[in-house]
Each structure stands twice: as structure tokens, then as C-alpha cells.
């Protein structure tokens, strides 16, 4: 199969601060478009960022083959984007994108690793158990959308699933209008626990693990396990939902991200 034509939305600052560029990896059902506000804040702070749409997402090619995508395909997309950027990057991944970022970092050390409400190294087993127990109706609705049984996510359900309670419905609806189905083949690979991947990693680059206070997808126990695997302490963003880059906490998240980046010492 030929390499896909990937959407890579790049934004450079008017005055660069000398830090490495960031490669932003979206979660399931989304695309590079979800990083628009974050990229603007990064540019204002002097950072170059590149937001990738995985194959079949956003404006990348391959939508009609989406159902056949596997995790290996998505990892190939990340490697393709890194090769296109031509310099070492700070990897920033959200949810599924966080899992992909961890897999890439295990093979090729990045300049830094930032994991936001990320799927933990061992997979989705904890998330599935949590959602099926606490939010079974949300899990069923999400699975129905992923399988194409519905053409658009219900905004009210999406608000409960992804967003902070204070997020305006117009903001939720804007996300819902752009959300898309996801490959159940790729997600299915994460259902079988891979506990050996929780073994602590020895790294020589900064790692930041951030969870969301009102996350109804990734339980805090999984955020803590992810941090433990990378030898750091987990942090939590107050008032945030799973989609912290888009909901009412987005400005607070961007400010905290820029503060964390500014505190690092780049070569």
C-alpha cells in the first residue's frame, strides 16, 4: 500500500525562542484541527508546532479505508511526519495519540514527551472497565459511532463524554460537527492488556503526564500508571474534561503547557 498523503498543519512563530518543534498527535475520532487554539498559543510563546492528521482523519487521505487501519499504520504515519519535519521533536499526544507517542518514544528518543489524558502503555482495558461500569450508555454510543451506526455524535452525549461541565454547547457542537468515525481494528488492538509495557522506562529527556479532573474516558488510575511507567509524577488539570485542548479549560491548558515548556532546558 502506498504511503498516505498526510495533513500536517504547521505554525511557526514570528519570533522563535530556540526550543525544538512540537509534533501534536490527536486522539481517536479527531484530526489535526483539534489543535488549532493550542497551536496559536504556542506560536505566541515562540514555539513551532506541527499538527498531524493520521491517515483517514482530517484532510489526510484514506478515509474510505479507515476501518482497515491498524496501530502499525498510525505509527508509520507518525514516523512519516517526523521524517518530513527533518529535526528532533517534542512529542505531544492526546488519548490515542498519547499511546502512539509512547510507542515512538520507546524506539526513538524525542526531545521531550508530553502525554495528555493518554491511553496508558498497557492499553484500553482499564478505560473499558471504567466506562462500562460508570458510563455504559456513553460507551455504547461511542462504539456505535465508531462502527458507523450513527453519522454524527450526539452533542449532549459528547459533552458528558469529553468536556468540562462548563463548556458552552456551541463549543461542543463545533467539535461534534468535525468528529469522525474511528478504526475499530486499531482500537481493538488495545483491548487486550499488555501489562509488560508498564515496566518503568529509563529516559534522559523530559516527560510530562497530565490528566483531566473530569475525564470520563481515561480514569485517574490509568494516568497514574502512565506516569509511573515513565518515572514521573502525574499531574491533573483542574476543571478539565478529556478533550482539554478544546473545552472550557483550553486556555488554562495552553498556559500550563507553555509554562512547562519554558521550564525545560533545551540543547
- The reported pTM is 0.93
Domain boundaries, the chain: 7-262
For residue 5, give every residue at least 6 positions away whose Cβ sits within 8 Å of its Cβ, in sequence order, or none. Answer: 60, 61
- The sheet that has 7-11: what strands, in order across it? 7-11, 49-53, 22-25, 90-94, 112-116, 207-214, 235-241
Q: How many CB atoms lie within 10 A of CB 218?
A: 25
Q: Which CATH number fits domain 7-262: 3.40.920.10, 1.10.357.10, 3.40.50.1820, 3.20.20.140?
A: 3.40.50.1820
The percentage of the chain sitting over the pLDDT mark of 90, rounded to a whole number, equals 71
Distances in Å between the alpha carbon of 229 and those of 121, 181, 206, 213, 215? 8, 30, 14, 21, 20
For residues 220-227, average pLDDT: 96
Q: What is the pLDDT of residues 7-65, one digit of tens each?
A: 999 999 999 999 999 999 999 999 999 999 999 999 999 999 999 999 999 999 999 99
The CA distance from 220 to 211, in Å, is 7
Q: Which residues pair with 22 in a beta bridge?
A: 49, 90
Amino acid at each position: 500500500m502506498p504511503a498516505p498523503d498526510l495533513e500536517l498543519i504547521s505554525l511557526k512563530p514570528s519570533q522563535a525562542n530556540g526550543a525544538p518543534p512540537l509534533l501534536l498527535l490527536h486522539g481517536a475520532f479527531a484530526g489535526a484541527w483539534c489543535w488549532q487554539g493550542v497551536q496559536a498559543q504556542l506560536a505566541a510563546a515562540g514555539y513551532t508546532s506541527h499538527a498531524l492528521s493520521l491517515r483517514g482523519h482530517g484532510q489526510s487521505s484514506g478515509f474510505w479505508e479507515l476501518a482497515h487501519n491498524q496501530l502499525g499504520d498510525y505509527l508509520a504515519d507518525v514516523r512519516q511526519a517526523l521524517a518530513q519535519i527533518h529535526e528532533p521533536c517534542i512529542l505531544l499526544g492526546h488519548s490515542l495519540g498519547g499511546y502512539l507517542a509512547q510507542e515512538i518514544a520507546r524506539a526513538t528518543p524525542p526531545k521531550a514527551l508530553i502525554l495528555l489524558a493518554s491511553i496508558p502503555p498497557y492499553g484500553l482495558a482499564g478505560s473499558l472497565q471504567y466506562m462500562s461500569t460508570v458510563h455504559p450508555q456513553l460507551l455504547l454510543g461511542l462504539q456505535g459511532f465508531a462502527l458507523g451506526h450513527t453519522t454524527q455524535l450526539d452533542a449532549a452525549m459528547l459533552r458528558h463524554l469529553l468536556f468540562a461541565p462548563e463548556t458552552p454547547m456551541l463549543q461542543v457542537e463545533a467539535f461534534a460537527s468535525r468528529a469522525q468515525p474511528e478504526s475499530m481494528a486499531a482500537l481493538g488492538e488495545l483491548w487486550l492488556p499488555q501489562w509488560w509495557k508498564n515496566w518503568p522506562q529509563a529516559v534522559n529527556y523530559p516527560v510530562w503526564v497530565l490528566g483531566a479532573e473530569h475525564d470520563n474516558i481515561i480514569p485517574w488510575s490509568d494516568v497514574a500508571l502512565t506516569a509511573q511507567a515513565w518515572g514521573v509524577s502525574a499531574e491533573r488539570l483542574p476543571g478539565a474534561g478529556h478533550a482539554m485542548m478544546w473545552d472550557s479549560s483550553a486556555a488554562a491548558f495552553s498556559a500550563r503547557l507553555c509554562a512547562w515548556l519554558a521550564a525545560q532546558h533545551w540543547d
